[in-house]
Chains A and B, each alone.
Chain A
């Protein structure tokens, strides 16, 4: 009954929309895009005027200066004049490489461990304190420890990514596995499925939406952390910002912020698409 009502509602909505969409300006998406560009334009205008009128801090670059720098960096991504003058493409690849290694290692630990913890209620209770204690620790708090243990900035960076991106995946995997609908397990039991078959064919696919949303949160954290960690490490996007701060050249810092945001957005979209792909009508 409810599904029928929902269908009727949906139909009436579509009819409504189709009925009033005589003008392009009635379309929600068109309006949203228009609003986006309008605010962007206002923001850039305010910035440009404000910087020229010296409303902001001393030495704040204008919008046009920053945009032309952005254009330059985007069109010259790969050059290498030594560690303090490296194309932003190289820096980006260095950061991505560190994130990839640390993140993949973290996932390779977190997913199997999460499954084991989720399957056993005793393990779930026993390991929960560890996870809850370590999860809120700021990733940067691990930095001195990493430097002391590894005596190497590269390994330390990867270590910090690993230790900070392990928790969301671990928690979400364990939670997803623990709350697999008992009905699916009953189906497996009545068919006489072995424990292993139940885990691989039922429990893991059932928990997959949770696992993927854990991976998505972990990726977000890894990307947040790498920039902060690299400021102290020597290469990568974080170091690029730190270096430009030492040069006191603000336009390049703004360019880097924009590129970091853009890459973060792209990484998140990949996982959003993956989440959709594994959901099959469920909302994780």
Chain B
């Protein structure tokens, strides 16, 4: 018996050493109501296994998209990476250290923007910078805020409150706020889900442009195949929930910087698109059928 194979069983080769973020055999169970009160009133619910045994390694400076049918636990997975909830089993490592809670090394962009309505665009971004760097001198804080307002193309709208901005502009503030704290990883939870198609396309192009400048590791959740193909280096396709798993990870070979028209000419584009479509159709159909049967 040779020693290397023995060593190999201890450290499974599927976990990459160079990964910035390593999701290792993560499952998430939402416990059901089983207390004495619920039992007496017969309102007990079962445990819900949202995610089962997901493993994923994410290399630095890659744009990863997670795509899957609705209710498959994409957001649950992202929230665990953000540290807003904890895995029921398995672990998530950031630079080889396990994630124990939320922190400014991960920036989050929310689907519904989550801007503070009482703060102007500028104040929303400054709030993030101040919170993360309380001891930084004001001039530098101001410079960072201004820089990020320029980066997302909001110059001129700094003094406006969120309710005076369009959905697209609000999400720009959201993106600027998450980038201003200079996180190692940017987490985006369906960032364009609440926008109309035109604004959505426009903002996708903006994110592509910003990504080329910053080259941060990004994990983005989306429902849109075109969006995933335009932006990502890798696409993680998840199966339907409950007990959602990773079905397949696709590598997107298009050269960067990208634009919509060019990638559509790429020979691999349609094949990838077909593959994703058939996966999503299959899973969504199964979800719908399960819903019909349960009623």
Contact = CB atoms under 8 A, between A and B. Distances in A.
A195 to B, nearest CB: 12
B250 interface: no
Contacts of A186: 82, 84, 102, 108, 110, 114
Nearest to B167: A3
Contacts of A190: 82-84, 102-104, 106-108
Looking at chain B, what size class is its interface with the partner chain? Answer: 20 to 34
Most buried by A among B112, B114, B162: B114
A205 interface: yes
B131 A189 contact: no
A46 B160 CA distance: 53
A122 interface: no
B202 to A, nearest CB: 15
Most buried by B among A184, A202, A280: A280
Contact of B131 (A193, A280, A281): A193
B128 interface: yes
B97 to A, nearest CB: 15
A190 B79 CA distance: 10
Residues of A contacting B: mostly: helix
B131 A197 contact: yes
Given A183-B114, A186-B114, A281-B162, A192 B131 contact: yes
Contacts of B181: 191
Nearest to A189: B102
Interface string B204-216: 0000000000000
B272 interface: no
A187 B117 CA distance: 13
B114 A191 contact: no
Interface residues of A, number: 24
B102 A183 contact: no
Contacts of B128: 191
Given A190-B107, A191-B127, 6 more contacts: A3-B167, A183-B110, A186-B84, A190-B102, A191-B131, A281-B164
Interface of B: 82-84, 101-104, 106-108, 110, 112, 114, 116-118, 127-128, 131-132, 161-164, 166-167, 181, 196
Interface of A: 1, 3-4, 181, 183-184, 186-193, 197, 201-202, 205-206, 208, 278, 280-282
24 contacts: A3-B167, A4-B196, A181-B114, A184-B116, A186-B108, A186-B110, A187-B108, A190-B82, A190-B102, A190-B103, A190-B104, A191-B128, A191-B132, A192-B104, A192-B131, A197-B131, A202-B116, A206-B116, A280-B117, A280-B118, A280-B162, A281-B117, A281-B164, A282-B163
